[in-house]
Amino acid sequence: ATAEIIDANGFLHSGDLGIKDEAGYFKITGRIKDMIIRGGENIYPKEIEEFLRQMSEIKDIQVAGVKDKRLGEITGAFIILHEGKTLTEEDVIEFCRGKIAKYKFPQLVLFVDSFPMTASGKIQKFKLSEIGEAHRKSLGIE
């Protein structure tokens, strides 16, 4: 397993994505396997999650790529609302308008009660992707 993450030059490949700031510090922005590639544009789910968490109605959110025939993947937002709060897909899109690039807008917004988890308590994003795909298929969209 170690040979898979440390290359011949001694570099560690953790699977994390990050940026380096002006002071030389690194900030983790997500996992490479979670990155969404929508029509050639790279979208980092963590960035969209952090942005949408500003909405007071949202208790928790996960963003995952959902297969799309034309674009390869689209951005799916899976949202748990605070009890007693309501929100629509259009509310989410309107919140994004003028604040983030249009290609980063979620093209699929689903309101869920919980997220699929592993036995150790980690969110299974691949299962969210599958839920998004099944929803689109039920609507006749591929």
Q: Would you list the domain boundaries of the chain?
A: 34-138
In the prediction, which pLDDT does 27 show? 76
> In residues, how long is the chain?
142
Q: CA 130, CA 107: separation in Å to the nearest integer?
A: 15
The tens digit of pLDDT for each residue in 125-139 reads: 999 999 999 999 999
Class of domain 34-138: alpha beta
The tens digit of pLDDT for each residue in 14-70 reads: 666 677 889 988 777 666 678 899 999 999 999 999 999 999 999 999 999 999 999
- Report phi then psi at 8, rounded to 5: -60, -25
pLDDT of 141 above 80? yes
Higher-scoring residue by pLDDT: 13, 77: 77
Q: Which amino acid is at 136?
A: R
